[in-house]
Structure 1
Amino acid sequence: MTEPEQTVEITSEAELRQLLGPVAPAAAKKERQSLHEHHRQWIARSPLCLIGTSAADGSCDVSPKGDPPGFVKVLDDTTLVIPDRPGNRRTDSYRNILANPRVGLLFLVPGRGDTLRVNGRARLLRDAPFFDGMTVKGHRPAIALLVETEQIYFHCSRAFLRSGLWQTHTWDPDAAPSRASISKSLEKPEKSLEELERYYGPQYGQNDLYA
């Protein structure tokens, strides 16, 4: 990458603090290692969790996991479990965890600007007594991610307020290329655009998501 001559890089934490200032006392004190009842309630209402992982070489991945609210189960004050569901089978995050168990989770609740952040250590399980309780529409997960919490805190809503994410009048789903166009250009060039438009049409979200 060719950088402009005016590019000035930050190379130390001291320089970073000089630019941004110290951590606010309230922000520094809000971390917990164990789950409070408010954390449990938030996880029970969240239908979407983003999982951040890093491989042994430092390469990173963020993977969304979604299901009906409450799909992530809290086992005790420091342990939660996330079931796997059928997807593209790339297993990027799972392969990362086998090499580096550190994970970062971000739980979202629709309409809320604040989010719940959970950092900890993860393990992949192929079976456990609680797998039966994570069955949805007859699909019992083949894999689950067990996370032992180390750092838990609520994140403020400024990013969501600035972005207007939940403000429906700002939504413009046609501003970006359609899913069919993206697939035609980058993933399935052998398919016709008409075929892909039918595939990704209104019935796409009504297909059996758990098959």
Structure 2
Amino acid sequence: MGIIDSHEALREIVGETSERTKKKIIDRIDEHARTLIEHSPFVLLATSSPEGSCDVSPRGDPAGSVLVLDEKTLVLADRPGNKLLDSFRNIVDNPHAGLLFLVPGMNETLRVNGRAKLVSDAPFFDDLVVQGKRPKLAVVVEVEELYMHCAKAFLRSSLWDPATWPDRSALPSLGTILRDQMALPISAAELDADLDERALTQQY
């Protein structure tokens, strides 16, 4: 294996970043970024512990649910989940976080890097209510870097093209996966029915 163990070795293979790429990185939420955030129903939140253990967590809400407070600050509501708290424990110990905003049908993505903190209440919590449910926590991110990521990954993967999607029946259901991984004494069908009901009734 050709292990790369230095920045110099990496640059020798990949080359230098173009000046145009460097210039696209800004330190604020401009009008275009605000528009994309307002239209994004899905964002990935990346965090890391001080020791370097990483976590990426999917966050979904109706488009417009992520608040832009000003050109340096955005807010994501927390919704009920598995209570493992991987992202939140990381944020408490290490505030550095990365966000990747997706807009359905759009091949380009918006990348945001900054410093995150958890809050349990603030005046803007009233604006985070969805289906009558007020979140118990929110993530406030101070933007340090923001830039558009090109379409190549989505073009290569054809992510938005239904013709490339696998037949769902050929893939194991979540109930099947959990039954086998956890050696549960219950049928996959029963697990799937319970999981489907929980997903529908415990979203908020």
TM range (shorter): over 0.9
* Partner secondary structure for residue 38 of structure 1: helix
Counterpart pick for 2:187 among 172, 192, 198: 192
Kindly provide the amino acid, as one letter, of the partner of residue 144 in structure 2.
E
The answer for the alignment partner of 1:166 in structure 2 is 160
Whether 1:11 aligns to 2:5 is yes
Counterpart pick for 1:85 among 58, 71, 79: 79
C-alpha RMSD of the superposition: 1.4
Trace 1:64-79 onto structure 2 (pairs within 5 A): 64-79=58-73
Is the CA contact 2:80–2:202 (under 8 Å) kept in the aligned structure 1?
no
Q: Which shows bigger deviation, 113-122 or 19-28?
A: 19-28
| Structure 1 runs not aligned, ≥5 long | 1-6
Shift of 1:103: 0.1
Between the aligned partners of 2:113 and 2:169, the Cα distance in structure 1 is 35
Q: Deviations over 1:147-185 (max 9, x none)?
A: 000000000010010011100011113343211111111
The structure whose residues are more often helix, as a share, is 2
* Partner secondary structure for residue 23 of structure 1: coil
Between the aligned partners of 1:184 and 1:129, the Cα distance in structure 2 is 43
TM-score by length of structure 1 reads 0.92
Identity rate, percent: 48
Between the aligned partners of 1:198 and 1:133, the Cα distance in structure 2 is 33
* Partner secondary structure for residue 144 of structure 2: strand
TM-score by length of structure 2 reads 0.95
Kindly provide the amino acid, as one letter, of the partner of residue 128 in structure 2.
M
How many residues were matched structurally? 203
Between the aligned partners of 2:149 and 2:189, the Cα distance in structure 1 is 43
| Structure 2 runs not aligned, ≥5 long | none
Whether 1:46 aligns to 2:46 is no
Between the aligned partners of 2:183 and 2:113, the Cα distance in structure 1 is 36
Between the aligned partners of 2:198 and 2:118, the Cα distance in structure 1 is 30
Instruction: Extract structure 1 runs of 4+ deviating beyond 3 A.
Output: 203-206
